[in-house]
Structure 1
């Protein structure tokens, strides 16, 4: 890994080594993750090469320039892509995972662009399947609504830690003034408070997001507002780390929703445990999705995965996971950056096995 200024990046493009300058730096980073998954749905099996089962495959650039007085300009550009065919994720956006510029000082950090929501930060912290990610085998990864995790046209603020408390807040203009969509479509407001003391941490988050019930929204489409709450706690016992999270959704159908999320009132929870075994880790996850209007839409998720590091940057893993669906539910075992094998008709269950490897650079 090499840090170099913008001039250095240009120099590298023509084969000239770069030298980092004190006033600013740019870092190239990434991770490649792939595996082979076997899934069985109602007696029909599928074997496929998986991109990003445990860690979202991506590459990115981060930068920082000191402006003086303890203030720094910072930025991040991150691209997600498929290992199996090389195509970009996030609907083909070059930097669809994150793309923001911001300021950081002793008052906190503020950033503008494509940002993760406070909900995302809490979910990836307390769903213990991977570092800063929702991973294969985790119940939260199978049940969470993707539109709650990342927002375009947004502002995000994170406060410095004070007496163990940290404040996170975000606001997004969903349609950003587009004349072919409802004026408030996709608008998102979120706030979260995190507390950490020694081996214990807890988070509470609240979020609202404006939707339309129309399949293809237009400027004249009616909108609704969905309300979310998220509660999470984690404790490190030394011999094991345990976490629980609970999310509620009320009052609005889901933005870009599938049939699973059409009900306006639903909950899900996950209980996860990671047991360190020397340098490796064994993860257990159990969780349930509750459709409060129709119990036939309920689902239960089970997951076990073993991760073993070959080096500081390379790891291998293997796991088994399952989702048991009610007669009106069709959840599946998802990858960290995409949907798993479809169960097809609602009410079918899925059992999956996975082996894979990841490399960070």
Structure 2
């Protein structure tokens, strides 16, 4: 998800709004990444969770990526045991192409679970994004995405974000952006942060966000 969403999973990603806010970090995990093999990279991970003698909270997944010239393509899957009676299953496809004047990316994701419709997170979403350099110092970042809930009626949502970054030096940049989510009557997606779920909102609401900041790398 981080490879094909806009600039990774940070502010402004439709993918970041529609993801499950609990799956970005995995405790007690083992991870393997292969060397680059003719453009292909294979990754795998297993997380033991935190409950001794129980498979609850355990997680495993893998991915295959291919990069050649301006192209990047990838597929990944993940399975997470949330309770004794439920397992969440995720599948993702991603693609990106660098045109030189802009980099475009597309991310598709599906989620399945074993829960009843009233509490199910089953659904699919996509994010289409583009990064447009502006001279040597600036860049525009645009993200649009849509979610389709497959377990409950009126659980769809749409999201749009626009951000501008301006470099003052190799280590310091300014940034500003706006983002908005349109939830249908049965959806309650919110503006997530880079690592955690954002503030709760009511179903059918339209949360928005404005960011202004400065970033400095030491």
TM category, shorter = over 0.9
For normalisation by structure 2, the TM-score amounts to 0.92
Residue deviations 1:302-342 (CA, integer Å, cap 9, x gap): 00000111111111111111000011111122232344454
For normalisation by structure 1, the TM-score amounts to 0.57
Give runs of aligned pairs for residues 79-94 of structure 1, distance below 5 A.
none
Paired position in structure 1 for 2:24 = 149
| RMSD, aligned α-carbons | 1.7
| Higher normalized helix content (fraction of residues) | 1
Paired position in structure 2 for 1:273 = 130
Write the distance in 1 (CA, Å) between the matches of 2:199 and 2:67: 37
Paired position in structure 2 for 1:189 = 60
- Specify the SS of the correspondent of 2:26: strand
Paired position in structure 2 for 1:172 = 47
Write the distance in 2 (CA, Å) between the matches of 1:187 and 1:335: 24
Runs of 4+ in 1 over 3 A off after TM superposition: 337-342
Report the Cα offset of residue 158 of structure 1: 0.1
Paired position in structure 1 for 2:145 = 287
Paired position in structure 1 for 2:3 = 125
Report the Cα offset of residue 199 of structure 1: 0.4
Report the Cα offset of residue 176 of structure 1: 4.6
Unpaired runs of 5+ residues, structure 1, are 1-122, 213-221, 254-260
Contact map agreement 1:185 1:223 (CA 8 A) in 2: no
Paired position in structure 1 for 2:79 = 208
Write the distance in 2 (CA, Å) between the matches of 1:172 and 1:339: 21
- Within the candidate set 200, 207, 210, 1:350 is matched to 207
Which structure: larger Rg? 1
Report the Cα offset of residue 354 of structure 1: 1.8
Contact map agreement 1:175 1:184 (CA 8 A) in 2: no
Contact map agreement 1:211 1:252 (CA 8 A) in 2: no
Are residue 244 (structure 1) and residue 106 (structure 2) matched?
yes
Count of matched residue pairs: 215
Paired position in structure 2 for 1:158 = 33
